Structure 1
Amino acid sequence: MNMWQKAIEDAVQKTKVNMERFGDLFPHVSDNDVYLLNPNDDWTDGFWSGILWLCYEYSGDQAFREAARKTVASFKQRLEKNVALDHHDIGFLYSLSSKAQWIIEKDEAAKALTLQAADVLLKRWRPKGQYIQAWGPEGDEHNGGRIIIDCLMNLPLLYWAYEQTGDAKYKEIAVTHANLSRRYLVRGDDSSFHTFYFDQENGEPLHGGTHQGYRDGSTWTRGQAWGIYGFALSYRYTKDPLYLETSKRLARYFFERLPEDNVVYWDFNVPVDADTKRDSSASAIASAGALELLDHLPQDDADRKFLEDGIQRSMNGLVDKYATIGKPDAQGFIEHGSYHVRGGNAPDDYMIWGDYYYLEALLRLEKGLKGYWYE
């Protein structure tokens, strides 16, 4: 059994135990190594569903399938009751739950639910500014003109809806937002802003900023990772070479800055000392995203070897030094993720999205399973 297989088997076993621990609740981040649970009312709840579907595809164990299907039923109720859906993370919620079920089982009810979710995401579209608003109600004084780099991972829900329906509005909005993100969130040195603000009335660009990074002009490592993966997915759906180029630029910036143990700190510009927090989830996302990027590069591409080495270094670092292999009671797959360091919110804990992308990257490497961002 190679190291990837060992890590996958460990994650699958932990998921089986977690199914009993969590019951009908959803894990978010941990506190003292115990996952905090919620009744499907947070932006992160799709990642648990995605982990269950990945475990089912890998193992064929019907227990994972039944647990995953139960989460989809919960997401159906969440949409019907409109529980905590007033944000842009609808793609994270429904791509990894109901869309995953459609991809695996071709369940028509799951497809219909996912299309309804895409319509919920469209409600975040602001025609005056030509962007998808990240947070808050329309007209919100602070967030009304804000986009964030995370949203690139929600756009695949709209691309998919276009493919399923032929309705051009889904793709047009996704492309418009991706282009705006490329222009204003990606800097000339290939780093990235976490957020950018626009005038709500006329769409004029105002300034870059951050919410979870070290400072407005720094590069939040998880944001850089979202950009790697998100632009690679926009390329998959549109074949616009500018998206491929942007994903490569962001990936090179990320992997050129790996620290000695190959797992990144929470921000590329934060002063580093013995107490500086890591973000293992950023390394997991970047690895999965770079694996997606490699799917689109020819074998003789000048950046291919560098990207392959970066992925290997990152994943080796996670498996060797951050994974909970050999800790059967651990609830998370990888330690030392960070949610919001400056805000004091889970600065050094398990992150359910870190666990998801870690497992997705492992399954890409070992089995060619690629998650649920596209069919």
Structure 2
Amino acid sequence: MGSNEPTTAQGNAFCTKAYGYGKPAAKPVFRQHGPENMEDSNGNPPDEFPETVPQSGKNSGRYVYREADFWTCGFFPGSLYCILERSVKYPEHFLADGNQGRVSVQSCQLLKQSLLGVCRDWAQPLHQMAYRTDMHDVGFIVEPALRRDYELTGNIQSLNSILTAAKSLASRYNDKAKAICSWDQMVNNRLNFTTKDSGFLVIIDSMCNLDLLFYAGHHFKLQRLIDIGTTHAHTIRSTHLRQVPNCEGALYTQYSTYHLANLCPHTGKVLQKLTVQGYSDESTWSRGQAWGILGYAQSYNWTKDPILLSTACGLAEYFIARMESAPACVEVEQQDGSKTGRYVPLWDFDAPVDEKDPLRDSSAGMIAANGMLLLHGALTATGDVKGAAKFLRYAVLIAKHTLDLCFATDQLKLSIQTDKDDKTKAVAESADASAPSFEALLRRATANFNGNFPDRYSNHGLVYADYYFLEFGNRLLQAGLC
């Protein structure tokens, strides 16, 4: 490894800045649950969930909420459970404040005591969502929170809901197409798929819902769930991936991705290859590429199928190549004269670039970084030291540049208050009253900038950018890298 390679010290620096005192450890809990309720669970399940945080306009800095049955509803509870996981498994990294003395033992313990109740309040609606068979996103909905609830507490209800969700997802599998249907319909200014007869729609995002099938399949010894996940992963290889010429320094065959494939439900033949959220049908939408990296890495970890591992590596190679070849305008000079930002990916690798303000997607970067960390572990286990080192290097570079460019710097501090009944609770206060409040952890996400939608969303905080940001830190700790 060269002098620019990540080290354990750099991993520690990431955890200290991103996962120590302040926002990641406390802000999501206090901002969204309310400091007045931190001492106990209030038992009231939410009817809507945080999704985006605008960076401008009248609601700048405040979460915009979506209905409780929207596909992103699982990521905020998942973020809370990431914090709970950190407090239980890695207490030395929970509310670590760099010895600045701002977090007392008492306030830390009060926060820990309240976390599980807060997590379960936010996760309660997810149990009912597990029964949904009208969508493929049940993995995104239930796994981030309910898997951790089971693993940290042994709650059988959560494991049973995971099984229910896996069966719901499996019900969308078509044996003739050898794939799981992602969407029953898709209508925008260009597309008009309104029935299953008009399209069997499969998107690259589906790769990250397969983990649900493998997890439930192995827990309950249901080989059919495992087989469906494995078959779908192989189908996506042939329907969504494009082999591209390798760039200099590539270690693996490179692949780019289509976002959407419309299959014949009777034969599995590809009828169309399209995009819904990318710039164009033939472009590479960066978050779609990231879903592929993470999904294939997860699938390999369950199956140990070398084809799935090489696929994940090829997708990651292309993601890296496109960041490296991005125009110079993606780099931003910092106060010390160094440059950052190259490894916060553009929202679409082939879209026109505004040289004054390149449009990025921090969520794509953090999803890809998680996938690359999984690849580091998988390749280390197979003895591929060179490949493992490469993906670790870029995973940390993505995280570092995301912190440099996207991390919302306002922080909270914890204080102890005693009510009239002598009951103590931890209360959150702004650490700097002059700093503009921003309720998400990361800025510069792009939910959807495709030109065929009347409403386009860019340059905002995004709940799943935050989730994968938090998960990345926990993965570093699990791997002993910080």
TM over 0.5: yes
1:122 aligned partner: 170
Which residue matches 1:334?
442
Mapped pair 1:109 → 2:220: no
RMSD: 2.3
Per the normalisation by structure 1, the TM-score is: 0.91
The one-letter code matched in structure 2 to 1:46 is G
Counterpart of 1:59? 87
Task: Output aligned runs, 1:130-149, within 5 Å.
Answer: 130-136=178-184, 140=195, 144-149=199-204
Distance 2:294 2:113 in 1: 30
- 1:46 equivalent among 63, 70, 74: 74
Q: 2:220 aligns with which of 161, 165, 169?
A: 165
The residue that corresponds to 2:267 in the other structure is 202
Displacement of 1:202 after TM fit?
2.0
CA distance in 1, matches of 2:286, 2:19: 25
Alignment equivalent of 2:400, drawn from 300, 307, 316: 316
In structure 1, the partner of 2:346 is: 265
Question: For the structure 1 residues 105 and 368, does the alpha-carbon distance in structure 2 shift closer, same or farther, using more than 3 Å as the test?
Answer: farther
**How many angstroms apart in 1 are the aligned matches of 2:162 and 2:25?**
26
Amino acid paired to 1:44: T
Q: 1:161-206, CA deviations, whole angstroms, 9 ceiling, x for partnerless residues?
A: 2112212210111111100011221111111111111112222122
More displaced stretch, 214-223 vs 71-80: 71-80
Can you give the 5+ residue segments of structure 2 that lack an aligned partner in the other structure?
A: 1-11, 36-44, 55-59, 89-111, 186-192, 245-254, 332-340, 413-436
Structure 2 counterpart SS, 1:188: strand
State the match for 2:389 in structure 1. Answer: 305
* Secondary structure in 2 matching 1:321: helix
Does 2:68 align with 1:20? Answer: no
* Alpha-carbon distance change, 3 to 112 in structure 1, aligned in 2, over 3 angstroms: closer
Question: Once the two structures are superposed, what CA deviation does each residue of 1:300-326 show, in whole Å capped at 9, x if it has no partner?
Answer: 433223222211221110111110124
Q: 1:193 aligns with which of 258, 271, 281?
A: 258
Unaligned 5+ segments in structure 1 are 371-375
1:288 corresponding residue in structure 2 = 370
- Indicate if the aligned counterparts of 1:284 and 1:358 stay in contact, CA closer than 8 A: yes
**Residue aligned with 1:96, SS:** helix
Following superposition, the deviation at residue 63 of structure 1 comes to 1.9
Q: Contact conserved, 1:196 with 1:207, CA < 8 A, in 2?
A: yes
Count of paired positions: 367
Question: Which of the pair has more CA radius of gyration?
Answer: 2
**SS across alignment from 2:386:** coil
Aligned equivalent of 1:86, options 108, 114, 134: 134
Distance 1:79 1:3, change over 3 A: closer
Q: Are residue 29 (structure 1) and residue 52 (structure 2) matched?
A: yes
- Looking at secondary structure, tell me which structure has more helix per residue: 1
Q: How high is the sequence identity, in percent, across the aligned residues?
A: 30
Query: 1:70 offset after TM fit, Å?
Result: 1.8
Maintained 8 Å contact 1:30/1:349: yes
Q: TM-score, normalised by structure 2?
A: 0.72
